[in-house]
Amino acid sequence: MGIFILALDDIFFVKGPILSFVNASHIISALSAILMTAIAIIGLTYRSEKKKLLLAWDSIGILLVYIANIMLLYMLRH
Protein backbone atom coordinates (compact mmCIF):
# COMPACT_ATOMS: atom_id res chain seq x y z
CA MET A 1 0.00 0.00 0.00
CA GLY A 2 2.87 2.38 0.80
CA ILE A 3 4.39 1.93 -2.66
CA PHE A 4 1.00 2.72 -4.22
CA ILE A 5 0.75 5.96 -2.24
CA LEU A 6 4.29 6.89 -3.27
CA ALA A 7 3.41 6.19 -6.92
CA LEU A 8 0.31 8.40 -6.69
CA ASP A 9 2.32 11.16 -5.07
CA ASP A 10 4.90 10.94 -7.84
CA ILE A 11 2.18 11.19 -10.51
CA PHE A 12 0.54 14.27 -9.01
CA PHE A 13 3.77 16.05 -8.01
CA VAL A 14 4.25 18.48 -10.90
CA LYS A 15 7.68 19.95 -10.05
CA GLY A 16 9.53 16.89 -11.37
CA PRO A 17 10.51 13.50 -9.95
CA ILE A 18 9.51 13.39 -6.28
CA LEU A 19 12.67 11.60 -5.18
CA SER A 20 14.83 14.44 -6.51
CA PHE A 21 13.44 16.62 -3.69
CA VAL A 22 14.60 14.29 -0.91
CA ASN A 23 17.21 15.73 1.45
CA ALA A 24 19.53 14.19 4.04
CA SER A 25 17.07 14.42 6.93
CA HIS A 26 14.61 12.17 5.06
CA ILE A 27 17.31 9.57 4.51
CA ILE A 28 18.28 9.58 8.19
CA SER A 29 14.65 9.22 9.26
CA ALA A 30 14.04 6.38 6.80
CA LEU A 31 17.15 4.48 7.90
CA SER A 32 16.21 4.96 11.55
CA ALA A 33 12.72 3.61 10.88
CA ILE A 34 14.18 0.58 9.08
CA LEU A 35 16.61 -0.08 11.93
CA MET A 36 13.91 0.28 14.62
CA THR A 37 11.62 -2.09 12.68
CA ALA A 38 14.44 -4.63 12.36
CA ILE A 39 15.12 -4.45 16.10
CA ALA A 40 11.42 -4.93 16.83
CA ILE A 41 11.20 -7.97 14.52
CA ILE A 42 14.31 -9.53 16.06
CA GLY A 43 12.90 -8.81 19.52
CA LEU A 44 9.64 -10.55 18.63
CA THR A 45 11.36 -13.65 17.28
CA TYR A 46 14.05 -13.90 19.94
CA ARG A 47 12.85 -13.78 23.52
CA SER A 48 15.40 -13.37 26.25
CA GLU A 49 14.60 -14.94 29.57
CA LYS A 50 15.37 -11.97 31.76
CA LYS A 51 14.98 -8.22 31.45
CA LYS A 52 17.90 -6.04 32.33
CA LEU A 53 16.88 -2.91 34.23
CA LEU A 54 13.25 -2.00 33.55
CA LEU A 55 13.19 -2.59 29.80
CA ALA A 56 14.11 -5.47 27.53
CA TRP A 57 17.14 -5.18 25.23
CA ASP A 58 14.98 -4.55 22.14
CA SER A 59 13.13 -1.68 23.81
CA ILE A 60 16.42 -0.11 24.87
CA GLY A 61 17.77 -0.53 21.33
CA ILE A 62 14.75 1.14 19.76
CA LEU A 63 14.98 3.97 22.27
CA LEU A 64 18.69 4.48 21.54
CA VAL A 65 18.09 4.54 17.77
CA TYR A 66 15.28 7.06 18.28
CA ILE A 67 17.46 9.32 20.42
CA ALA A 68 20.30 9.10 17.88
CA ASN A 69 17.82 9.96 15.12
CA ILE A 70 16.58 13.04 16.96
CA MET A 71 20.14 14.18 17.70
CA LEU A 72 21.27 13.74 14.08
CA LEU A 73 18.24 15.60 12.75
CA TYR A 74 18.82 18.43 15.22
CA MET A 75 22.51 18.68 14.26
CA LEU A 76 21.63 18.79 10.54
CA ARG A 77 19.14 21.57 11.18
CA HIS A 78 21.73 23.93 12.68
Q: Alpha-carbon torsion 45, 49, 53, 55, what sign?
A: positive
Which has the higher per-residue pLDDT, 72 or 10?
72
Question: What count of other Cβ atoms lies within 10 Å of the Cβ of residue 74?
Answer: 10
At 78, the pLDDT band (50, 70, 90 cuts) reads low
pLDDT tens, position by position, 9-51: 888 888 888 777 888 788 899 999 999 999 999 988 987 666 6
SS3 of residue 9 by DSSP: helix
Question: Contact 16/46 with Cβ under 8 angstroms?
Answer: no
52 pLDDT exceeds 70?
no
At 68, the pLDDT band (50, 70, 90 cuts) reads very high
